[in-house]
Copies of this chain bind each other. A is one copy, B any other.
């Protein structure tokens, strides 16, 4: 018997820039010419059936005009496309077109596109560079920091995937103008969550500028994108592997995710999280961390952003309570919630622990009155 040691200690630098601006297509091409991804000349542009005509085809054209080899790979828009089957279909199309290890993937779209294309990039030829051209507020709030990529399976959301970092992220505010209202609202739910958990100042900005933001005022929206990145980065930087601090990003998501599922996805993720934020704040109030006035303030902002603040009447509340137990924060069969402290902070119950056990009866009471 003998033991042989494989030593693989090394310094890895996955740093990348996020550019926030208005119509960044030309800037992307300039960056490529300046060597953003080295000598690569071949670009697979991955997008969905909606974003294709809006932005992706144009990016493809610009790439071609600059002498790059490129093809557009399109899948049907919607969360239901975020599957292993769509990933395999795109891989096969890329292989058929001769894409090998010397290519770069450009994801053009919202969270579904960047999650799927990022995962694909991370496993194509055991990892090729990828660039994230994000066209939604939700992607700005959620998908552009953290390196999480994934697909859904029949039995689990986002469980099959990778941590894989892009070479650069573009948050193009101009593209938000073509977003449906519900998509903006969905993004605002995560944005307000970020403000609630980390910055009273950002919360006040959102309150004062909500109508500018909803009408996609350039300056207001750029600030929103930047603050979202900063707050999420601050959390992720301190906890890259989702052990401690990262749990606070789950604020409002315990009830939110369960509601999304129980509604049969009739409520969008953002709408469900909005209601989940209210549930979480009612719990925070019971535990003495929030006043009723503060709850009202957040609730007013959520409503102003076009988000629901109570559970629709036709939702089966008992099913909702049962569904809470599939939350990933559940430990030893006990529900756990992240809890807000006033506006702009969360409660750290003990060092590194940001979620507190909650009796089912308490959760049920809050849900019944919501």
CB distance from A262 to the nearest CB of B (A): 20
Q: Which A residues, 1 to 32, have Cβ-Cβ distances below 8 Å to chain B?
A: 1-22, 24
A56 proximal to B (CB < 8 A): no
- In the bound complex, what is the Cα–Cα distance between A226 and B6 (angstroms)? 12
- In the bound complex, what is the Cα–Cα distance between A105 and B145 (angstroms)? 28
Contact A9 B11 (CB under 8 A): yes
- Helix, strand, loop or mixed for chain A's interface? mixed
Contact B126 A4 (CB under 8 A): no
- In the bound complex, what is the Cα–Cα distance between A163 and B5 (angstroms)? 18
- In the bound complex, what is the Cα–Cα distance between A11 and B13 (angstroms)? 9
Q: Which A residues, 110 to 166, have Cβ-Cβ distances below 8 Å to chain B?
A: 119, 122-127, 145, 147-148, 150, 153-156, 159-163, 165
- In the bound complex, what is the Cα–Cα distance between A7 and B17 (angstroms)? 8
A351 proximal to B (CB < 8 A): no
B contact residues around A21 at 8 Å (CB): 1-2
A100 proximal to B (CB < 8 A): yes
Contact A2 B226 (CB under 8 A): yes
* Among A3, A13, A20, A126: residue with most chain B CB under 10 A: A126
B contact residues around A96 at 8 Å (CB): 155
Q: Which A residues, 98 to 112, have Cβ-Cβ distances below 8 Å to chain B?
A: 100-101
- In the bound complex, what is the Cα–Cα distance between A4 and B17 (angstroms)? 6
* Among A6, A122, A328: residue with most chain B CB under 10 A: A6
Given contacts A84-B84, A123-B123, A155-B96, contact A6 B2 (CB under 8 A): no
- In the bound complex, what is the Cα–Cα distance between A222 and B1 (angstroms)? 7
- In the bound complex, what is the Cα–Cα distance between A240 and B127 (angstroms)? 13
Contact A160 B124 (CB under 8 A): yes
Q: Which of B2, B6, B145, B240 contacts A15 (CB 8 A)?
A: B6
Given contacts A154-B92, A160-B91, A162-B122, contact A2 B20 (CB under 8 A): yes
CB distance from A63 to the nearest CB of B (A): 21
The stretch of A183-191, A229-237, A270-278 in contact with B is: A229-237
B contact residues around A119 at 8 Å (CB): 123
Contact A4 B233 (CB under 8 A): yes
B contact residues around A304 at 8 Å (CB): none
Contact A12 B15 (CB under 8 A): no
B contact residues around A15 at 8 Å (CB): 5-9
Given contacts A2-B222, A11-B9, A100-B328, contact A159 B17 (CB under 8 A): no
A95 proximal to B (CB < 8 A): yes
B contact residues around A6 at 8 Å (CB): 15-18, 145, 165, 229, 233, 237
B contact residues around A226 at 8 Å (CB): 2, 4
A88 proximal to B (CB < 8 A): yes
- In the bound complex, what is the Cα–Cα distance between A237 and B13 (angstroms)? 18
Q: Which partner residue on chain B sits nearest A147 by CB separation?
A: B8
Contact A22 B1 (CB under 8 A): yes
- In the bound complex, what is the Cα–Cα distance between A165 and B122 (angstroms)? 15
Q: Which of B126, B154, B156, B160 contacts A148 (CB 8 A)?
A: B126
